[in-house]
Amino acid sequence: MNEPLTPEEERELLRLARRALEHYFETGGELEAPVKDPRLKERRGAFVTLKVDGELRGCIGYPLPHKPLAETVIEMAVAAASQDFRFDPLTSEELGRAKIEISVLSLPEPVTAPEDVVVGCHGIIVSKGLNRGLLLPQVPVEQNWDRTTYLHHGCLKAGLHPDEWKKGAKIEVFTAQVFSE
């Protein structure tokens, strides 16, 4: 992973995400915010997670560094609120109760054995053929999963049989700097 973000950079990204959501609910459009900090202009993979009253309401991101970090956070905040197919879109009434969490990712690396996956440290990407599923590193901790359960859920997220990680599915790991409001 690139150098960790400073607390001020974390706060700035959270402010941008909140402003992006407010702007979206006011105008229906995407926030265009000039970013001065050169580190927030670096291309980094990131996910934005939204929870309302402690319940997951959206989580979308780019696992690879496609865009500058600030742009990714702005875009993914709105996408998590409006485009996560697992949930109804966030409503303006829920916005004030929504908590924003941002995960800034390292580049994924393949593991040589499933035992190399460290719960609480690694996010995983499980893939086979065209199927691909990603789980952020905080998920197994929040769900109290062990490594086997984590790998099962990674397979399910990819649309695979839960034991496919034992049968040749590719496993990649990444780390994340996770921070929230």
**Each residue's pLDDT tens digit, 48-70:** 999 999 999 999 999 999 999 99
C-alpha distance from residue 84 to each of 5, 16, 48, 66 (Å): 27, 20, 11, 19
User: What CATH number is given to the structural domain containing 154?
Assistant: 3.30.1490.150
Question: What whole-number distance in Å separates Cα of residue 145 and Cα of residue 55?
Answer: 18
Position 125 scores a pLDDT of: 97
Q: Is residue 171 part of a domain?
A: yes
Position 29 scores a pLDDT of: 85
Verify that 70 and 134 share a domain, yes or no: no
Verify that 40 and 82 share a domain, yes or no: yes
Comparing C-alpha atoms, which of 88, 86, 104, 100 is closest to residue 50? 100
Position 52 scores a pLDDT of: 96
Q: Is residue 157 part of a domain?
A: yes
Verify that 20 and 101 share a domain, yes or no: yes
- Cα 177 vs. chain centroid, distance in angstroms? 10
- Cβ atoms of residues 173 and 149 within 8 Å: no
Put residue 175 in one of left, alpha, beta given phi > 0 → left and psi -120 to 50 → alpha.
Answer: beta
Comparing C-alpha atoms, which of 110, 133, 138, 142 is closest to residue 122? 138
Verify that 63 and 151 share a domain, yes or no: no
Position 141 scores a pLDDT of: 95
Position 93 scores a pLDDT of: 93
Helices then strands, counting H and E runs in the chain, come out as 5, 8
Verify that 60 and 140 share a domain, yes or no: no
Verify that 100 and 118 share a domain, yes or no: no
Position 172 scores a pLDDT of: 97
Question: What whole-number distance in Å separates Cα of residue 138 and Cα of residue 127?
Answer: 20
Please list the alpha-helical segments (H only) found in 101-145: 138-143
Low-confidence ranges of the chain (pLDDT < 50): 1
The range of the structural domain enclosing residue 41 comes to: 7-105
How many CB atoms are closer than 10 A to CB 120? Answer: 10
Position 144 scores a pLDDT of: 96
Position 3 scores a pLDDT of: 85
